[in-house]
A and B are shown apart, each in its own frame.
Chain A
């Protein structure tokens, strides 16, 4: 059976949902990875690496490009803890909750972090500076408690004081 051209052109569906920069990031991700086997995760990573999250408008765009349903793409985005469906703050602090860090005080550090920032996990401080996320192991189990700031800034033996200093520094260098 001949398939009918039911889908409107990409630019028309999504112009309202995505900023020009976001649209460009999605296009670039698709351009770089669409031909690879199992392309969806590499595409989503590429989008989030640039934008910090997967905007809802990107889901439809990716779905159309890969000839999948929006539900399928949304299902993948929502399945993986790494992918965010809300815009993060300027810095993301990922605090390890796993057992090896618990053995060295991670539970107390978690309570301190939430109190000091005035937020729970998956929330962003009112000034937009810090998003706090849980992570289940950073592989730094010999010198916890551990946390990761942004892409790759790993910290070991984090005390509540050290946490406060990290947050002050992150707030200081705004970008």
Chain B
């Protein structure tokens, strides 16, 4: 055949870790050896991680997927005529019809895994930049109102209404401080891409699979509040996302979607990526701003809010990756379209990440309201190890451990809050019955000690004391006294810390103790007693 066949292989970090790079090379080499024309496209991942490396072939009847594919399979795939969708043991058919995928409601992740993340043309061909086109024709206050009306709440974890934050920055005076020269930006857009919570990877997947969606969302934010400069603060642990963003920014600039004249509108918006340096605390917005300013990432007192006095002292919109990436579809389809998804005060969809000890892990984007149990069993397929799921941590290292009796909790900010848990950034980490909740509680304190910025004493010192108190409980030393002390310490951390790190570290500790007290009996191996 003369026309080349498009073959998609993911270049997402997880897919690469599972061997997608070698598969891509093997396909190109085999095609060359056979004299077959193949156009290899490196996409993001569809989010069905147990099927990676996944290969999708564009055939006249649609995309046909094969996975997981090994290098040893590649020759057999060519023999099976996979370029025309031929039969093979790894043939999955259309991913859209896969049970894990078919029931999802992909709004924010509609293009991830489908498009070439480097190509502006591909992005536009799949509906990209329609939201920005609409925004360019609107008054800034109407853009803000659309985001308010959509009900979008910050997807980073705190769930603060995004539109209200934007309105505050919109209404803030843009006049620069007296010391500033006229050329300095007067407002900023900052993206928090410091996705440090264990069990979360949706920011990374989006930045690697559809970076223009984030760029478009930030550009719309710039139009809405009158900011001309944006920063994406990306964690240094994400080298693949860094490359994807740099490539996308360069291409967006070259195509006129960023820069001095955004899409011929006369409006200016510049965007750059800044790397963090391995500090979990910089996911806290005020620490992040200090870090962007070139300082130690220490938490600031609030007020003033970043919306009033943020980066370099200027009014600043600071939102999570998924919050910004949810904006283009709101501006494209309207606030009502987005708002019609979800339950109660949790509107729209949440990209949920299934992680840890689950058979089928990956990304599930659904309207709020789905139960934890459905996610763990219907989507996740139960544990990876085949043993019973005993505990689930939702919302990252500061999230509570939930026992089986709470698995019917619906994914909704308020419902989680009501059971003393936190939805956070939508990461779900499952543990089987080999988990030791005492060790998990101890780890929570240890993690806080490693990552504390040091500003508040309850967090800086309390976390270390917490490890010590837990060790005494584990060793059976003055148990009742030390349990009371732990309780007191947790109260002090909760109420005496400026930010969520010290304030929420007690949650995994207290929930582990409350729901799994049997794990807190004296350790048989404990020294002394």
Chain A residues close to B by CB (< 8 Å):
37-42, 44-45, 75-76, 79-83, 98-104, 107, 135-144, 146, 148, 151-152, 154-157
The smallest C-beta distance from A146 to any residue of chain B, in angstroms, reads: 7
Q: Say yes or no for B397: interface residue by CB 8 A criterion.
A: yes
- List residues of B whose CB falls within 8 A of some A CB: 13-14, 16-18, 49-50, 52, 195-201, 203-204, 236-241, 274-280, 291-297, 312, 353-358, 361-362, 384, 393, 397, 427, 429-432, 435, 439-440, 443, 447, 450-451, 453
Using known A-B contacts A80-B279, A99-B440, A151-B239, determine if residue A142 contacts B201 with beta carbons closer than 8 Å. yes
How many angstroms between the C-alpha atoms of A144 and B50 in the bound complex?
11
Least Cβ–Cβ distance between A48 and chain B, in angstroms = 9
Inter-subunit contact A135/B237 (CB<8 Å): yes
In-complex Cβ contact of A82 among B17, B52, B278, B443 (8 A): B278
Known A143-B17, A143-B361; contact A99-B296, beta-carbon cutoff 8 A = no
Which residue of chain A has the shortest Cβ distance to B196 in the bound complex?
A137
Q: Is the CB of B357 within 8 A of A104?
A: yes
The smallest beta-carbon distance between A63 and chain B, in angstroms, is 12
In the complex, the answer to whether B297 meets A141 with C-beta atoms within 8 Å is no
Q: Is the CB of A42 within 8 A of B49?
A: no
Chain B residues within an 8 Å CB radius of A148: 237
Q: For residue B383, which residue of chain A has the nearest CB?
A: A103
Q: Which chain B residues lie closer than 8 Å to A157 at the CB level?
A: 18
Q: Per a CB cutoff under 8 Å, which of B14, B197, B296, B443 touches A143? A: B14
Please give the distance in Å from B94's CB to the nearest CB on chain A.
Answer: 22
Distance to closest chain A CB from B500 (angstroms): 16
Q: How far is the CA of A83 from the CA of B236 in the complex (A)?
A: 11
CB distance from B366 to the nearest CB of A (A): 17
Q: Are A136 and B280 in touch, CB under 8 angstroms?
A: yes
B279 touches A81 (CB 8 A): yes
Cα-based distance from A82 to B279 in the complex (angstroms) = 8
Known A-B contacts A45-B236, A143-B14, A143-B18; the reply to A98 vs B397 at CB < 8 A is: yes
CB pair B429–A38 under 8 Å, yes or no, is no
Chain B residues positioned under 8 Å from A75 (CB to CB): 296
Q: Is the CB of A136 within 8 A of B198?
A: yes
Chain A residues with CB under 8 Å of B447's CB are 98, 136
Determine the residue in chain A with the shortest Cβ distance to B242: A152
Closest chain B CB from A62 CB (angstroms): 11
Q: Is the pair A79, B14 in contact by a Cβ cutoff of 8 Å?
A: no
